[in-house]
Amino acid sequence: MATVQMKVSPENLSKVSKGNERIPEPTIIVIFGASGDLTKRKLLPALFHLEQVGLLPREFAIVGVARRPLGDEFAKDMRAGIVESGDIDESDPQLDGFTKKIHYFPMNFDDANGYDGLKAELDKIAKANGIGGNRLFYLATAPEYFTEIIENLGSHGMNKPDQGEVHAVIEKPFGHDLDSARELNHRVNAVFDESQVFRIDHYLGKETVQNILVFRFANGIFEPVWNRNYIEQVQITAAETLGVEGRGPFYEKAGALRDVVQNHVMELLSFVAMEPPVSFESSSVRQEKLKVWQAIPSIPILNAVRGQYGPGKISDKSGDKDVPGYRQEDRVDPNSQTETYAAVKLEIDNWRWAGVPFYLRAGKRLKKRYTEISIEFKQPPLLLFNRAGSSGDCGEIQPNVITMRIQPNEGISLTFGAKVPTTQSMSVCPVNMDFDYAAAFGKSSANGYERLLLDAMLGDQTLFAERDGVELTWALYTPILEAWAAKKPQTFPNYAAGSWGPDCADELLKKDGHLWRKL
């Protein structure tokens, strides 16, 4: 199939308007679990990127909290992480000043006395740097420590200082089913008001995700056709080539449905399907997202399929390489029933989307690393060129498709039919109009946490999950998880590493006359 690529010229897009930047008040950022990879590879590089562009206050401090006695080595290690993961020059003149603001406090998360020492240390740092009472507590720990840390912060008076704003950022997973999510919400809200709680999903920090709303609501040509009258189907794919990468114990408890579909993919779904909000204030955007999830009826178990990868081959820059199956991965049960692939068909019972199927899939060890949203439009009522038998070498005329590439190769493409230059026939081939982020705006070293950390310091919850939303999505998927737990799969592993997943996922669409997009 011939495809013509048309790149958007960056000439008129290279000048991004500046101004109206919001800068937080002086703040101490406290990161629990600071010795983990997330802090070194994502959080500290993101904070330094904010410092580079002048979006951090002059007076701020970062305090890492973990069990190991790292001392001054912590700041040195974080500096190395900023250089390596943040694509920063070692000689950057801002690095030294930034590193001096990094502190470390060793303590066990279950040690009540340790929180007295932490509070005193934060007060000492605040007084020495003129910071005041603003605190951002970031829980980058395993989920079993969430409630312990939250409740200790409350019992030691760090949830509501006398002066300043206090916010708590909680990493996913936020619960592992509906009951656990409700219990966690209850215990968190017993200490922190909901306005103080920031449940983070790093997908929402991606520019490409935020651009879904801009694409829909800032362009008059798309919104009129963004409904059941014109759209045939929607597909959302979150595909990884990686395996569990040493995280066997975590993944054994999670699986693809919990790890990716219930949170990341459902957030993408809400942005695609939501109604225009009254404004882009936090409450308006969140309200429209909730309406989408509320309109999704219970998902029949026959509309959910699972898979687990076996041995296979993965292609990378060095060529093809053999990789083990999931059950052969480090610290994974050799008889594991955990799914590494999940696909779901659901519908949204509202005026805009009634009758339009949404197909969601996520998996590990697939053929390519790709996260995208694909909106396929209905065919015209009269396929004149097919009727005339004149589509030529290009085959049958293909439907129009808008594809939003979340990662990698971030961008948006529109597929439509065009006449092939020839005097012999009316041959029609699909071509792509392609917008490429890197070509238009330049390659960015940002990792998505910049926007989220900045918003959390500012108290803007727009791009964070709220209590009701978390519980609504868990309510949709908990029955599926329970059904899967009750009936162990007999066919695992059922797809080879390096493939596009199990056959049952293809059958899920074939019964509707559809196919998964070829990526």
pLDDT means per 10 residues, the chain with 519 residues, are: 45 43 91 92 94 93 93 91 89 91 95 94 93 94 94 94 88 93 96 95 90 92 94 97 89 94 96 94 93 97 96 85 94 95 98 97 95 93 57 69 92 86 71 87 80 94 94 97 93 95 96 90
Q: Which amino acid makes up residue 439?
A: A
The pLDDT score that the predictor gives to residue 444 is 73
Q: Which of 49, 186, 264, 514 is labelled catalytic?
A: 264
Same CATH fold assignment for domains 27-200 and 204-381+465-510: no
Q: Which amino acid makes up residue 326?
A: Y
- pTM score of the predicted model: 0.91
> Is the peptide bond prior to 357 cis by the omega test (within 30 degrees of 0)?
no
The pLDDT score that the predictor gives to residue 387 is 47
Distance CA 499, CA 367 (A): 5
Question: Which sequence spans correspond to the domains of the chain?
Answer: 27-200, 204-381+465-510
What is the side-by-side strand order in the sheet with 231-239? 5-7, 428-436, 411-419, 401-407, 370-377, 231-239, 358-363, 341-346, 304-307
Angle of helix 112-129 relative to helix 146-155, nearest 10 degrees? 70
Q: Which CATH class is domain 27-200?
A: alpha beta
Quick one: which of 99, 174, 128, 175 has its CA closest to 26?
Answer: 128
Q: Is 264 a catalytic residue?
A: yes
C-alpha distance across the termini of the chain, in Å: 14
Distance CA 38, CA 43 (A): 6
The pLDDT score that the predictor gives to residue 4 is 43
Distance of CA 412 to the CA centre of its chain: 17
Distance CA 309, CA 243 (A): 9
The pLDDT score that the predictor gives to residue 379 is 86
Continuous H helices in 100-243: 112-129, 146-155, 178-189, 207-217
The pLDDT score that the predictor gives to residue 476 is 97
The pLDDT score that the predictor gives to residue 319 is 79
Classified by CATH at the fold level, domain 204-381+465-510 comes out as Dihydrodipicolinate Reductase; domain 2 (3.30.360)
Backbone angles phi and psi of 421, in degrees to 5: -60, 110
The pLDDT score that the predictor gives to residue 81 is 92
The pLDDT score that the predictor gives to residue 20 is 58
